[in-house]
Amino acid sequence: MSGQQILLTESEAADRLSLCTRTLRKERQAGRLRYVLIGRAVRYSVADLESYVEQLRQVQPACPPADPTRRTSVQRPAGGGVVVPFTERNARR
């Protein structure tokens, strides 16, 4: 075997992903992170951690150019477009 560990403990895996162990555990319990169970000991392979990171990788699309021909509508207040101050509202009824 080489100098690289095959399986990492929960703490080592969390350190490697720059997560706290609680977050790592939640990801495992949600089924988003593969793990190896040896007896009652939970271990993580380096390959599974790398696969997990790849699944989460985001590629931001370029912002679409603004459409100068598109106009937005202006919402007009109900009641024929007349704005009535709140203090006068009951007096008009």
In three-state form (DSSP H/G/I as H, E/B as E, the rest C), the secondary structure along the chain is CCCCCCEECHHHHHHHHCCCHHHHHHHHHCCCCCCEEECCEEEEEHHHHHHHHHHHCCCCCCCCCCCCCCCCCCCCCCCCCCCCCHHHHHHHC
pTM over 0.75: no
Judge whether 84 lies within some domain: no
Q: How many domains does the chain have?
A: 1
What does the pLDDT average to over 48-66? 86
What does the pLDDT average to over 18-22? 97
Greater pLDDT, 7 or 69 = 7
The whole-number pLDDT of residue 2 equals 55
The whole-number pLDDT of residue 85 equals 80
Task: Identify residue 35 by its one-letter amino acid code.
Answer: Y
Judge whether 68 lies within some domain: no
Judge whether 76 lies within some domain: no
Judge whether 20 lies within some domain: yes
Judge whether 25 lies within some domain: yes
Judge whether 77 lies within some domain: no
Judge whether 40 lies within some domain: yes
pLDDT at 33 over 80: yes
State which residues form the domain around 41.
Answer: 7-56
